[in-house]
Amino acid sequence: MTVHLQLPLGFQRDWLWRGWTVRYTHLRALSLASEPGQNLPLLFLHGFGSALTQWRENLLPLNQAHPVYALDLVGFGASEKAATAYRVELWADQVYDFWRTFIGRPIVLVGHSLGALVALTAAVSHPEIVQGLVLITLPAARQELLPGWLQPIVGTVESWFTTPLLTQPLFRLIRRPSVIRAVLRKVYVNQERVTEALIESFLTPGQDQGAVRAFGHLARARTDNDFCRATKELLQDLTVPTLLLWGEKDQVIPLAWGRQLPPLNAHLKLVEIPNAGHCPYDEAAAEVNAAILAWVAALPDATG
């Protein structure tokens, strides 16, 4: 097993899952637990196009009281750029197998955007692994955004734009630093957070072997109604306490959508983060970290 030491992201390691190389990191809790909830492991799942590096402002602060793990989903980050049919269920299976292999006791899953959808799916499919969820913006499924009659039409049009003839030049375009910088400046409210290091973290995975091919598979998967179950349907099946964090100025997944979700499940608590956009874990890291710590500390003891 290869170990890559890159603090503050901990000891990064490679794990072989279904024949694919997967990158993850682990940091042990720095303080001894004085209360049951303080030793609860946290597992972090990144958003679309990102990697475990997105948690650079969160892992060390939260690791003061909790063992923390972060995972690169297959197809992203330093994990293998697999040529496969990508589905949220595939990544949920990855999370479950990772939990079985390395953790084996109830955890809190923390996910952002696509990672939040994966965390939610894993919690519904495998409720025994989670004591709680922290979802930092939760996207709607594709089928929730389009009327049923329109879905086949849009699907046909989208299929024209997901052929290799178009996805390959599109990939070469979007992996340019200037394009990544422009996109991030639209996503972030606090422009000072759009650093060269942040831009590089999005560029590096695109240089991996198979990255162009994987991008094509991901593009096709996102246009398929089978990519994931409906978000509202998943929430109705959720049985564990869930903290929903949302940037008030999110332009990618507007807060108006987030405010529709708490009435669907009594386990869901929405906290709005002021002066933050789509990435409040970075733009308002201190506030997000404090909210997670306080909420986890108040969770019922799974052993009690």
Give the tokens for residue 180: 């990544």
- Residue 269's φ and ψ, nearest 5 degrees, are -120, 120
For residue 266, what are its two tokens? 């009594």
Nearest Cα neighbor of 40 from 267, 300, 266, 235 is: 300
pLDDT band at 222 (very low <50, low <70, confident <90, very high): confident
Average model confidence (pLDDT) for the chain?
Answer: 87
Domain ranges of the chain: 3-146+228-297
Are 108 and 131 in contact by the 8 Å Cβ rule? The answer is: yes
Residue 65, pLDDT > 80, answer: yes
DSSP for 183-246, written as a single string = HHHHH-SSGGG--HHHHHHHHGGGGSTTHHHHHHHHHHHHT-GGGS--HHHHHHT--S-EEEEE
Count of CA atoms in the C-beta half-sphere (13 A) of 183: 14
Please give the structure tokens belonging to residue 278. Answer: 């789509």
**CA 125 – CA 238 distance, rounded (Å):** 9
- Nearest-angstrom CA–CA distance, 248 and 242: 19
Q: Which is more confident, 151 or 36? A: 36
75-85 pLDDT, tens digit each: 999 999 999 99
Domain 3-146+228-297 class in CATH: alpha beta
pLDDT tens for residues 165-178?
Answer: 565 666 676 778 99
3-state SS class at 112 = strand
Phi, psi of 239 (to 5 degrees): -125, 5
Comparing 38 with 113, which gets the higher pLDDT? 113
- Which 3 state secondary structure label does DSSP give 201? helix
State residue 223's pLDDT score. 72
